[in-house]
Amino acid sequence: MHRRLVFEEPVSRAAVWSRRLAWFAFAVLLLSLLLVRLREPSIEGLAPVAGAYVLVLAALGLAILAFIRIWHSGHRGAGMAAGALLLSLLLLAPAGFIVLRLVTRPALADVSTDIDDPPAFSRSQAALTARSGRVPPDVPALQRRLQRQAYPKAVPILLELPAEAAFDLARRAALGLGWQVLETARPGGRSGAGRVEAVARGRILHFSEDIAIRIRPRVDGSRIDIRSASRLGSHDLGANAARVAAFTDEIELLMESR
């Protein structure tokens, strides 16, 4: 009885290491995101995330190299290379979304429904403590005009309600969105305006935006203006405009339920 010898092609080392590196990059990325959430948010604190994405790109490159070598040499490991390629692309998807936002959104970090007279931020001790002593700076008029072009729906909210009722509505909307309300001031006094000061935090990285809401009486009702400003960087990737839109939608929902 003769035994038939079967010679199998060796497994591509590039495929093996691409899979290992892809899973290692996945673990490093999760750990780095956890560290960012636990620490005080900062641009420097994103360095571990950037390092994790270097590993992701290396895994992607190895997977592509593995496919090339498998094609030329006939080595095994196509499945491993395909898995590494898919995992790398999935990990790169959020980074690709961020790059898309950088390209398609203006470089703004402060959005207001009133570009001529944005709501001012409180300088009380409680507000300054919550903002770590930071007061969002004024935005040049040119940037405010860029905001109007990029986010034409970020406009004042006009209500056929007294300022007192509009104030209660604005406060409920802020709380309903999960924002931390720092302080409030009812309409009245010399200016006649009411105010709600709040802080909103991102769901993933917990980056903070400072919120100032102003309620002014009008002859036929009231006007609500909101301003949302990021604490880090000069580009918010559209986050502040999204918060303004979410606040407007919440006001509309509350009005419908009255």
Residues near 205 by beta carbon (within 8 Å), at least 6 away in sequence: 33, 36, 37, 41
Does one domain contain both 122 and 249? yes
**139 three-class SS:** coil
Does one domain contain both 96 and 121? no
Given a contact cutoff of 8 angstroms between Cβ atoms, the answer to whether 115 and 148 are in contact is yes
Which domain does 20 fall in, by range? 13-104
The verdict on residue 67 lying in a domain is yes
Q: Could you say which of 39, 73, 104 is where a domain stops?
A: 104
Q: Could you say which of 78, 104, 130 is where a domain stops?
A: 104
- The sign of the dihedral angle between the CA atoms of 134, 137, 204, 85 is negative
Does one domain contain both 98 and 140? no
The residue to which tokens 């002014």 are assigned: 216
pTM of the model: 0.80
Does one domain contain both 117 and 242? yes
- The sign of the dihedral angle between the CA atoms of 200, 115, 239, 157 is positive
Round to whole Å and give the CA distance between 186 and 156: 19
Residue 142's Cα: distance from chain center in Å? 24
Given a contact cutoff of 8 angstroms between Cβ atoms, the answer to whether 237 and 70 are in contact is no
pLDDT for the residue 6: 44
Does one domain contain both 185 and 94? no
Structural domains in the chain (count): 2
The verdict on residue 172 lying in a domain is yes
Q: Specify the CATH number for the domain of residue 136.
A: 3.30.530.50
Does one domain contain both 159 and 86? no
Does one domain contain both 134 and 250? yes
Does one domain contain both 118 and 51? no
Residue 223's Cα: distance from chain center in Å? 28
Q: Could you say which of 81, 104, 127 is where a domain stops?
A: 104
Per-residue pLDDT of the chain (258 residues; tens, 9 = 90+): 455 544 456 777 888 888 999 999 999 999 988 887 777 666 677 788 888 999 999 999 999 998 888 887 777 788 888 999 999 999 999 888 888 888 888 888 899 999 889 999 988 888 888 887 888 888 888 788 888 888 988 999 999 999 999 999 999 999 999 999 999 999 976 678 999 999 998 777 778 889 999 999 999 899 999 999 998 878 888 889 999 999 999 999 999 887
Which tokens hold the place of 41?
A: 């948010």
Does one domain contain both 34 and 155? no
Does one domain contain both 117 and 223? yes
The verdict on residue 129 lying in a domain is yes
Does one domain contain both 80 and 145? no
| Residue 159 phi, psi (nearest 5) | -125, 145
Residues near 238 by beta carbon (within 8 Å), at least 6 away in sequence: 101, 105
The verdict on residue 150 lying in a domain is yes
Does one domain contain both 134 and 69? no
